[in-house]
Structure 1
């Protein structure tokens, strides 16, 4: 029996092939000490071993994880508004906040830095920020404008024409493309139109594969990490999700409890969760990238009241939540780092906290 076991163990031991002929200076270095270049040259001589250089690529799910319960990080009382309909982040401590016909740039003290007056009179996702920090918004003439970083120069990016009225706009952080949610007052239908950063038309998403209209009133729009386009449709009471190319993936209409959905502000996070404000239940709901309900992330018990605007900060992993009827923006932490990422030069220590 012992002989058989020894034979089995011997069979499991990998056989060592003949070692390659090594240069004399490498053999010498192995007896006197070695450096990484010597080791690299040594291992490159063995076909079965492949060498790679550079930093290890760490998946985002290795960096952050869900906390057991969200924690209120800070609250910002914004002096320039009476309610918060939408939030677009410029930096971790500087955001654009809008209500019906009021759009202001504020910091974490709530002070107004700049105000835009020619904004469309809507309580929807009427502005966004591109990778250069420029504000892009829908003006009072239903056109898509861009405001320079110094807040001095306004240029028209896209001219919209009746009967299609833009309701929301979003700039893709991955491509720089603009996605505009529009509605047709004559037909009561909606569409999402994609443009490149120069304002040239790329794609229109309007129907599913059965030629049924996907949207009625696309109030808010965002993009997930997999490229999915996510629309909060206030008239259809659904979150409508399509692939980047426009194929309908699913529509989320509420949690398993059977409560209907009245969706408004939406965003996604580093783990591809979709977060949506629901005015029916006064909650922020979390679903996964495939439309499965995960949790009521924030409820009135967490201190929120009629949540309307959402923004996720991908550098600090903080969630900004705006209320429809108050000028207070609540900032929550619901994701925490598994370990510290010390090589992030853009981390803003003024708003982050040690989550270890």
Structure 2
């Protein structure tokens, strides 16, 4: 369970120069035992009271807080390979077939093919509905942006010096300012570019070897990232370490993290099928 000691209160600059007091709270709200999965390596949330959970084998399950199985898909497995759009459709990557699929009204349709690139991670933008995909191909890696119809509109692979940005981008998300935040286990770093693909920064951990997994952002632009061996880190929008949200005393092998529109934090781990929900933040 979460530590009883609350995180520090921080002052956050709000709209038009006002200041918000951000009080972080880690009160446990619920625990969900997800049927038909062996662990919870990735969690995708929609606006409804439903969520998708996947393991590392071949199960992708839609469930609710009551534990009912609403849908189940056999997949090629993976980590951050699915996302829910604003209109409640699931989009997921098939790594074996190099295809991204979309589920609409319980029907699986091809969203797009990725050619000879293997799709690893995927995120549906809350800003404009674009789909961001992290991919690999024989020693190369990139992030590709698709529009809502599946048309490729942007590729991000190198910085302005021609240096490779990514190695194995297995989780991906977008910040409120349009930054694309990628958890790259090959680089052992969180790699962040702006919406145009310009390199901004990399975060390589805090004191110990960094094993970045699940990643998400909150309503004020903080970045939350799971360190598989250690903790969940809270970074500011520019990549500065703020604090641990959880430590290894609180969690075992944290690997998935996401937030709903009510600021509830969902955590999954690599060893059980349990997803925990916490009250993440509130305004004072």
- Normalised to the residue count of structure 1, the TM-score between the two structures is 0.72
Which residue of 219, 222, 230 maps to 1:270? 219
Deviation of 1:62 after TM superposition, in Å, equals 7.4
Per-residue CA distance 1:52-103 (angstroms, 9 max, x = gap): xxxxxx9499797533552212111112211001111123521000012110
8 Å Cα contact 1:242-1:249 kept in structure 2? yes
8 Å Cα contact 1:276-1:284 kept in structure 2? yes
Q: Which runs of 5+ in 1 are unaligned?
A: 1-57, 339-356
What RMSD over aligned residues (CA atoms) do the two structures have, in Å? Answer: 1.9
Matches within 5 A, 1:292-331: 292-302=240-250, 304-314=251-261, 316-331=262-277
Q: Which runs of 5+ in 2 are unaligned?
A: 1-13
Confirm whether residue 334 of structure 1 aligns to residue 280 of structure 2.
yes
Write the distance in 1 (CA, Å) between the matches of 2:195 and 2:169.
Answer: 16
Which residue of 252, 272, 284 maps to 2:232? 284
Which residue of 174, 177, 202 maps to 1:226? 177
Which residue of 2 is the match for residue 88 of structure 1? 44
More strand by share: 2
8 Å Cα contact 1:64-1:335 kept in structure 2? no
Which residue of 72, 83, 88 maps to 1:128? 83
Matches within 5 A, 1:7-22: none
Write the distance in 2 (CA, Å) between the matches of 1:191 and 1:291.
Answer: 21
Deviation of 1:295 after TM superposition, in Å, equals 0.5
Which residue of 2 is the match for residue 350 of structure 1? none
Q: CA 1:79/1:116 → structure 2, altered by over 3 Å: closer, same or farther?
A: same
- Name the count of aligned residue pairs: 269
Deviation of 1:305 after TM superposition, in Å, equals 1.4
8 Å Cα contact 1:61-1:271 kept in structure 2? no
Confirm whether residue 165 of structure 1 aligns to residue 118 of structure 2.
yes
- Normalised to the residue count of structure 2, the TM-score between the two structures is 0.90
Write the distance in 1 (CA, Å) between the matches of 2:24 and 2:165.
Answer: 35
Which residue of 2 is the match for residue 46 of structure 1? none
8 Å Cα contact 1:190-1:217 kept in structure 2? yes
Which residue of 2 is the match for residue 72 of structure 1? 28
Which residue of 211, 236, 253 maps to 2:187? 236
- SS class of match (1:300): coil
Confirm whether residue 154 of structure 1 aligns to residue 108 of structure 2.
yes
More helix by share: 1
Write the distance in 1 (CA, Å) between the matches of 2:214 and 2:196.
Answer: 23
